[in-house]
Structure 1
Amino acid sequence: MSTIYNFNAGPAILPASVLERAQHELRDYQRCGMSILEMSHRSPEYEAINAEAAERLKRLLGVGNEYHVLFLQGGASLQFAMLPLNFLPPGASADYLITGAWAEKAYEEALRVGQAREAASTAANGYRSVPSQADIALDPHAAYVHITSNETIQGIQWHTWPDVGDRPLVADMSSDILSRPLETQRFALIYAGAQKNLGPAGVTVVVIRDSFLQSASSNLPTMLRYATHVKNRSLYNTPPVFAVYMVNLVLGWIEEQGGLAAIAERNQRKAATLYQVIDTSGGFYRGHAERDHRSLMNVTFRLPDEALEKRFVTEASARGMVGLAGHRSVGGIRASIYNAMDQEGCDALAEFMIDFMRRNG
């Protein structure tokens, strides 16, 4: 099998060792005589996987029993609605910090449920940065404050968390969860679709502080209540068994790499490799995000014209580098370099970028 460097934004690259282990265990999981895909979610084998994944995630995040870990379905898009349904009571309001396409979607969905405020937005500068603290106007009585920690489409990332006082801070971390050490205690709730840094598509991780959970509405359909899933340890209905199994393997892989501090160092080095080429290209490559707000997960940039961008994507693909076309809404180039992308892949892309510029600049 030839080497392919997978720069897709999601579903995204997974660690090779994780895929190999899943392949090895696929037909016969731990000598049970059947595949994990066939097992009951009530079996002791799956319940052990579910519990181990939750404990591994808590360990990596540095939290204990004051937080609950849930494995849900519906993607982050369901969380856009499930969050306000649980925590935005009638007469209250929630604050949203709008930093890109995904933050917009979360805000728009909250407006369908109740009162939501745009407490800050960087739309005016084309979503090239996150708002400064001075530009954030918070409601002193906000039910919660919502941020999107990393915007995959625009390639911007929060590197310093906003000060929200004693208001509950909530984050969509779908595209950068476990990519760096996290002050988890600052957050009342974190949610993340798994298909970028945690595993395959099909499961969404929610990490929720118990004290925040106590304020959730109980007047909701059973499946839309976080309390239902906490009480049943994510086993109220049939969970996405194989996806959770894969998340557990990826969490184990992160621990083997040295945890979040080691992963962060690796990610910073990878991103620096690509941003260095952009910054020294004399304007041939133009990064979208302002330097202080650049994503370490999604490197977004433009070339002098769209024809060159199409040629760039075509030639890169021919060299085994796939998934580099920017999101259809903005165009350009996007290299997604999540945890499982290794330095070798970033070096290969950087070398191609330099060669392409030499031939077309």
Structure 2
Amino acid sequence: MSASVYIHPIGFVSGPQAEDGAAIRLAGSMVYASRFALVVRDEGKAVARRLFGARGFEEVVAGLDSTLASEAERQWANLQKVHAPIELGERTIRLDQPQIMGVLNVTPDSFSDGGEFLEKPEAGRAYAAAMLESGAAIIDIGGESTRPGAAATWEGDEKDRVLPAVEYCASMGAAISVDTRRAGVLEAALQAGAHIANDVSALRYDPRSAELVASMKCPVILMHAPGSGDDLHEGGDYDDVVSDVFDFLRLARDRAIAGGIAEDRIMLDPGIGFGKTLADNLALINALPLFHALGSPLLLGVSRKRMIGALSNEEAAHQRLGGSIALAMKGMDAGIHMLRVHDVKETVQARNVWRGMRDAALTDFAQLPMD
């Protein structure tokens, strides 16, 4: 194993004025970072860690060999990369503030809605409409349960579940992503009006998926999960979960680009809850700013996750709103571009208040006299 480098943003300010300009805007978001840690790993272990400020990068990188220096320079540029809006049919999704993706599960055993939207399409239609009216930028439709121990879904059944939901969401003019790892389901959904492939296997499960995404030129979300077969949770053993997930997503992105998928159509998801312990999930959430160094917009799915119950009296999924909002706010503070949530109205309200505070912070320092 060769050595590898990682640049972690570790210090944050309300705006560049707070540090007289010595802060970077993180991945085009409303978050500013002023302090960083450059970590070098070798043979699976951290062997060096150097701290630096926003104006100290050149000095730190000068001490690295040429290969590591080149990768560090790439990551440093990625941390400051401004991501273009996503064009989805008639909708344009800007990535300069956190956007909200609303979840619409059409499975018989959904942990969040108990299969209501599969059994009652009119309820699913009304729920999707309410999410759009509440401010959801995208509706994410899923027809297969990916919880631990769930049985694999036959492709025909998944199509029968997903396509009616795609059609009624498309009739509302919604931007639609399809949460599937099967190329046949994805192709049919795109033809029915969907726009984004949300692949929890990072295009590994179905060998046809990468070629389809490349040919259809649709945006794709690549998520980390340790398993590549039916059980996505299998094999979750990590030397260092943060670095290992980072490396996985870097390879997944590079494979996608090599397969003909445009880099600017790729979004990455660290896969909270997939093949990870509570400690793993907490480590990833605390290290979210690092993943901007990969150079792609980031999606975070933490809504109603099992970890919330583990931290709060084992509350059931429908009782996890407070924890979901807390984790969403953590994602916002990390510069996450897209939040996948069940409780759209409440999360949009939290985002709007968060943005108001961020906007105000950018002008606060203008009121202070300069020395």
Q: TM-score, normalised by structure 1?
A: 0.28
Q: TM-score, normalised by structure 2?
A: 0.28
Q: Which has the higher contact order (CA 8 A, sep 6+)?
A: 1
